[in-house]
Amino acid sequence: MLSRILNAIKTIIGRFKTYGVHSAYIALKSKILNIYVRLANTYLPAKVICPCCGWEGRKFLYLDCGWFIVPEVECPSCHAHERHRMLKILLEKAIPKFLQNNNKPIKILYFAPEPHFLSFLREHKNLEIVFTDYSPYAIANVAQPKFVADIHSLPLLNESFDEIICIHVLEHVKDDKTALKELNRVLKPDGEILLMVPFMMDQSETIEYGAPRPDIFDHVRGYSPLDFKDRLSEFEFEEIKRENILSTEEIEKYKIPNSQIIYLCRKTSPPL
């Protein structure tokens, strides 16, 4: 407990020195709110469930985003966020094409892998998952096969993967349009991409920051849900919103906000 308090104080002071009063206030507020959440989870009846690990509790933790706070984001047990819960639900309830045939070998390229659904995917023995990221640290704890690469120029043959998983990656890359062209290049003609980005729901258009912003998880742009689809001209795509796969009760139980949208992208057929 003492170490947690000292770390909180250190964080607040660091934010004040680096970003000023408002950012320090956000850090302090998020710490206080999460103390309340932990107490509620200890003493009050459960209302929410994490589909990634099965944890049940009163509330998910608040997320400190530097300049603002997002409520009910993080699972106190497995640390899954809204995007992880949404994708896990899609894999289990909507069942994408690559999971529908356990007899066919499927080769998957997985960018910036996260642990929340790896065990689920590995239950399907026909899946060959290849992990990649620009940072060796991001793939240090996953098994082979894996490689370090720049998404703008992948060292891969054309049309070499049946499925690509790219979750919360494009907001970090210098040129997302070039990255999307590369994904299209390495995707097989009948393949699919599971794609998600974080949305700034109050923005009417995507904002380019020009450089990674340390105060917003090193994002280089803030996507607007109103114009993101314009960037997907390389693909035919299906926009999967929470209402497409969840009831109103399930949306509340899993706490999936309307910002969580999965794009199921397919290679555009070449002209005849």
pLDDT the model gives residue 260: 96
Q: Among 53-62, 63-72, 108-117, 262-271, whose mean pLDDT is lowest?
A: 262-271
Query: Which residues make Cβ contacts (< 8 Å) with residue 250, sequence separation at least 6?
Result: 89
Q: What share of the chain is helix, strand, coil (3-state, %, to 5)?
A: 40, 25, 35
Region 162-180: mean pLDDT is 96
Nearest to 204 by CA among 173, 232, 226: 226
User: Hey, is 173 helix, strand or coil?
Assistant: coil
Looking at the fold, whether 43 and 131 belong to one and the same domain comes out as: no
User: What's the pLDDT tens digit per position in 184-220?
Assistant: 999 999 899 999 999 999 899 999 999 998 878 899 9
pLDDT the model gives residue 269: 59
User: What's the pLDDT tens digit per position in 117-144?
Assistant: 888 898 899 999 999 999 999 899 898 9
Burial grade of 43 (CB within 10 A; 0-12, 13-18, 19 or more)? exposed
Nearest to 49 by CA among 90, 77, 91: 77
Looking at the fold, whether 11 and 126 belong to one and the same domain comes out as: no
Compute the half-sphere exposure of residue 172: CA atoms within 13 Å on the CB side of its CA: 15
State the pairing for strand pair 48-49/187-196.
unpaired
pLDDT over 50 (residue 57): yes
Q: Among 32-41, 94-103, 160-169, 184-193, whose mean pLDDT is lowest?
A: 94-103
State the pairing for strand pair 262-267/235-240.
antiparallel
pLDDT over 60 (residue 33): yes
Report the distance separating Cα 87 and Cα 263, nearest Å: 11
- In a domain, residue 108? The reply is yes
Region 31-51: mean pLDDT is 96
Looking at the fold, whether 94 and 14 belong to one and the same domain comes out as: no
Query: Which residues make Cβ contacts (< 8 Å) with residue 255, sequence separation at least 6?
Result: 48, 60, 72, 82, 85
pLDDT the model gives residue 271: 43
User: Hey, is 82 helix, strand or coil?
Assistant: helix
Region 15-20: mean pLDDT is 81
Instruction: Answer yes or no: pTM beyond 0.95.
Output: no
pLDDT over 80 (residue 12): yes
Which domain, by its residues, includes 71? 2-80
For residue 195, the surrounding DSSP H or E stretch is strand 187-196
Looking at the fold, whether 55 and 93 belong to one and the same domain comes out as: no
Reported as a pLDDT band with limits 50, 70 and 90, residue 248 is very high
Looking at the fold, whether 51 and 99 belong to one and the same domain comes out as: no
Looking at the fold, whether 127 and 238 belong to one and the same domain comes out as: yes
Looking at the fold, whether 258 and 225 belong to one and the same domain comes out as: yes
188: tokens are: 């097989």
Region 11-37: mean pLDDT is 88
Query: Which residues make Cβ contacts (< 8 Å) with residue 32, sequence separation at least 6?
Result: none
Above pLDDT 90, what percent of the chain? 72
Looking at the fold, whether 245 and 136 belong to one and the same domain comes out as: yes
Question: Of 54, 80, 106, which marks where a domain is finished?
Answer: 80
Report the distance separating Cα 64 and Cα 45, nearest Å: 25
Burial grade of 163 (CB within 10 A; 0-12, 13-18, 19 or more)? buried
For the chain, the residue count is 272
Looking at the fold, whether 61 and 96 belong to one and the same domain comes out as: no
As for how many domains the chain has, the answer is 2
Looking at the fold, whether 180 and 261 belong to one and the same domain comes out as: yes
pLDDT over 50 (residue 272): no
- In a domain, residue 272? The reply is no
Report the distance separating Cα 143 and Cα 160, nearest Å: 20
Looking at the fold, whether 115 and 163 belong to one and the same domain comes out as: yes
Instruction: Name the one residue in this structure whose structure tokens are 């896990």.
Output: 88
Region 231-254: mean pLDDT is 94
Question: Of 80, 114, 134, which marks where a domain is finished?
Answer: 80
Question: Of 46, 61, 80, which marks where a domain is finished?
Answer: 80
User: Mean pLDDT across the chain, nearest whole number?
Assistant: 91
User: What's the pLDDT tens digit per position in 58-101?
Assistant: 999 999 988 889 999 999 999 999 999 999 999 998 888 888 88
